[in-house]
Amino acid sequence: MKKLTAQPKLPTRQTQQPAAQKKRLFGVALPLLLLLGWQPSACQSQQTGPNVEQTPVATPGETPPTAAAKAVVPAVPKGYFLFPIKPGQENFLAGSMGELRPNHFHGGLDIKTDGRVDLPVYASADGYVSRLKQSSFGYGNVLYITHPNGLTTVYGHLNHFKGAVADTLLSRQYQKRSYELELFFEPGQFPVKRGEVVALSGNTGGSVGPHVHWEVRTAEGHQLNPLQWGGFAEIQDHVAPVVQAFAVEPLGIEARVEGRFGKRVFVPKAPLADGSYAWADTIAAYGTVGLLVQGFDRFDKVWNKNGIQRGQVLVNGQPLYEHVIDDVPFPEGSRQINRHVDYEWRAMQGRQLEKLFVDDGNDLSMYTTGPDKGRLRVEAGKTYAVEVRLSDSYGNTTPLRFVLKGEEPAYFKTRSAAVKKPALSYDVSRNLLVITAQDPDTAAVGGNVTLVRGSRRLSLRPSYTDQSRNVYLYDLRAAGPIPSVSAASASASAARP
Ligand SMILES: [Zn+2]
């Protein structure tokens, strides 16, 4: 939450404002000015309960995002690709495809190389070397082999290239007198056979330990999960994903979780005897809410925490949402990870929550949902038995079960003895302005705040008062016509009259 230290200028008529843009939103001159001050107590007694002064607005997500086209993926028979390291032997992964990394989905498998370099790297299928890059950054020394089915396999962080293509690289390097080099080749120039040694493994580029980064890409550049075609005998996985936490988040101005407007994170203890997780207490909720989860997966015999390929949500037995991270457009789709995960929560709280709904602005094609895009509408008096299923590429599945109970929001007030003087802060989330005011008042209902827009004033009563903090909610899309800017008006003083 930001502290109000200067005149805050509020936006009007923002639509589909992604959270990542909110700082910029406050950086531009906007015509709505906020005057925050305490109203006389007479005002408090006549206005109680949640704010109802606003015009109704569309539920978030009613405009369906345009789904990005799925890649044209040829049918890949099981066993088509040879495992590129120690084929036929037990192998271990340090990273899975689709793993949630900072600012990208991990694009391939990180294959361990016994802590060593110079292991032979085998061509995964017949084809030709289509590209080669030598670099101190990113994938380091990387080789691309394009196969007759149109897919390309990518081998990264290599030490050396092998064969005729390596000689070509050396001579070009000599000509250019540069280490950094990228070459593209035509079919027929450097054909390779399945199982041919094309390189030696290494630790080049942005690599923190010896391994081979191995990818499968489509002609359009989509990164595909190499384990989706029946997996590999070299990689064993009988371990189901682990649930670390889940969260329920209000997505609309009317929405509450346990009476409050704010994400609630729940941390279940160890799994039950059958491997599932459960939250014993019923969770009170209301309105349009989103579900989020934090977890990881492991492969057999290794402790690396890897990604979870599939997330499903069923409510009262009916499917609500599903994602499968098997196909990510690179690089533009990979960057959309910051809409797939709760980017701000990770930045502020350090916890990586993965959304189980399709947020505004996310046009990845990995989702299967109804028209509400995985958002759940909770009605008063109804019960929602939620089952989240998390699965890895080998089909090991962990269920997480909890129950939401619809409960109409009502004003409540809880006090904290610590509050001495008033203080204000605000935040913008999903087009909603959330104002929090420390309220040392002992009245039954917290005081109002006044929004000033030109000559118009709007008095907001608190939706609730939690630990002596009044919480006010205002939908920025309900701001009406844009008035002229009044430079003279606002002061963000929290002083009592
Ligand atoms: Zn990698």
CATH of the domain at 123: 2.70.70.10
Sign of the alpha-carbon dihedral angle for 233, 236, 238, 242 = negative
Consecutive H or E run containing 167: helix 164-176
Residues 112 and 171 reside in one and the same domain: yes
Residues 246 and 220 reside in one and the same domain: no
Residues 401 and 418 reside in one and the same domain: no
Domain assignment present for 485: no
Q: Are 365 and 70 in contact (CB under 8 A)?
A: yes
Q: Using alpha carbons, list the distances in angstroms from residue 259 to 135, 203, 280, 346, 465.
A: 54, 52, 18, 24, 10
Among 66-80, 135-149, 216-230, the minimum mean pLDDT is found in 66-80
Residue found by looking up tokens 């016509």 in the block? 481
Domain assignment present for 279: yes
- Give dist(CA 112, CA 107) in Å, integer: 16
Please report the pLDDT score of residue 1 as a whole number: 40
Q: Which residue has the higher pLDDT, 67 or 261?
A: 261
Domain assignment present for 76: no
Residues 272 and 393 reside in one and the same domain: yes
Domain assignment present for 34: yes
pLDDT in tens, 413-442: 998 877 777 788 888 888 888 999 888 777
Residues 401 and 305 reside in one and the same domain: yes
Q: Are 450 and 484 in contact (CB under 8 A)?
A: no
Q: Using alpha carbons, list the distances in angstroms from residue 175 to 152, 168, 181, 195, 492.
A: 28, 11, 11, 31, 66
pLDDT in tens, 315-347: 999 999 999 999 999 988 888 999 999 998 888
Residues 257 and 273 reside in one and the same domain: yes
Domain assignment present for 78: no
Consecutive H or E run containing 401: strand 397-406
Beta-strand runs (E) in 225-325: 242-250, 256-257, 264-266, 277-278, 283-296, 310-315, 318-324
Distance 153 CA to ligand 1 centre (A): 13
Distance 144 CA to ligand 1 centre (A): 15
Distance 207 CA to ligand 1 centre (A): 8
Distance 47 CA to ligand 1 centre (A): 58
Please report the pLDDT score of residue 20 as a whole number: 35
Distance 345 CA to ligand 1 centre (A): 25
Number of domains in the chain: 3
Q: Which residue among 373, 406, 439 closes a domain? A: 406
Q: Which residue among 228, 259, 286 closes a domain? A: 228
pLDDT at 5 over 70: no
Residues 424 and 383 reside in one and the same domain: no
pLDDT at 55 over 60: no
- CA 170, chain centre distance (Å): 42
Residues 262 and 382 reside in one and the same domain: yes
Q: Using alpha carbons, list the distances in angstroms from residue 207 to 98, 112, 210.
A: 18, 12, 7
Residues 251 and 391 reside in one and the same domain: yes
Domain assignment present for 435: yes
Range(s) of the domain holding residue 107: 93-228
Please report the pLDDT score of residue 28 as a whole number: 26
Residues 27 and 103 reside in one and the same domain: no
